[in-house]
Amino acid sequence: MSIGENQATSPNVHSGSRVVIVTGGADGFGAAIVDRFSKEGCKVIFIDLNRDKGEKKVEKNAGLHFICGDVTCRETWEEALRCGRESFGRVDIVVNNAGITYSPSPVHTKPIEQYDKIFNINLKPVFLSAQVICPFMLEQGSGAFINITSTGCTRPRPGFAFYNASKAAVNIASKTMALEYAPTIRFNCICPAVGNTSMLQASIGDGTEAQAKLRQLEEMLPMRRVTEPEDIANAAWFLGSDQSSFITGTTIEVDGGRGV
């Protein structure tokens, strides 16, 4: 009997009782994703480098499990898997949300260290999470990965060449793994437009000039606003739920029409 045949005859775990790992879960899109899955009754393990924000989040919701760790390190993923197995007996969903950006400028102005950093943080966790978690999900008989990309994949803006490239790599890797691990494990992406998060502040700065840049960004979007964290959390919940059980290898653009 193949893996697919075994999975097809196994009962699904109800969406609200699933165990979810979320990276970058202490702030921004990740924090909203954590809150949404927790609200729906899921057991949520979230990973973040910011210990203060992570612990404060747990103080507000004692049902959460926080790991202060670096998602570019295999040991962090092994700890997350161990937490899921020992505390709940399973891991159903992985949301790779953690990532970084940089201030816009042409490629020739970028130091090689920035190139290394952007690919290390934006792409390597997708590789490591699959290496560590997929064998367990195959044994379990089901699972889903949700990887956060960017409109930089589909409508790249100048000044962000290798940020865009790192997110495009996440997108194509996800599509390929959807084929490699079907039908047992699903892989999908969410493609946000520029979001109302700390990454936006890192990109445009602050002050009066930043507000003008924000207005310009909003005018680029047909819906005339930036992406809110709740927009991404809603899409993540859909992709992790039974409602999306026949969806794999796709990207949901939650971008206010930016990609049209």
Residue 204 confidence (pLDDT): 63
Q: Which pLDDT tens digit goes with each residue over 115-152? A: 999 999 999 999 999 999 999 999 999 999 999 999 98
Residue 2 confidence (pLDDT): 33
- pLDDT, mean over the chain: 90
Active site residue 102: no
**From 102, 115, 163, 181, the catalytic residue:** 163
- What the chain holds in terms of domains, given with CATH numbers, is 19-195+228-254 (3.40.50.720)
Q: Select the more confidently predicted residue: 22 or 5.
A: 22
∠255-256-260 over CA atoms, to 5°?
80
Average pLDDT over residues 175-199: 90
- % of the chain beyond a pLDDT of 90: 73
Assign 202 a pLDDT band (cuts: 50, 70, 90). low
> Which of 202-211, 217-226, 242-251 is predicted least confidently?
202-211
Q: Which pLDDT tens digit goes with each residue over 62-103? A: 999 999 999 999 999 999 999 999 999 999 999 999 999 888
Reading across the β-sheet that carries 43-48, which strands appear in turn? 65-68, 43-48, 19-23, 93-96, 143-148, 185-192, 251-254
Assign 231 a pLDDT band (cuts: 50, 70, 90). very high
Assign 15 a pLDDT band (cuts: 50, 70, 90). confident
- % of the chain beyond a pLDDT of 70: 88
Residue 168 confidence (pLDDT): 97
Average pLDDT over residues 228-234: 95
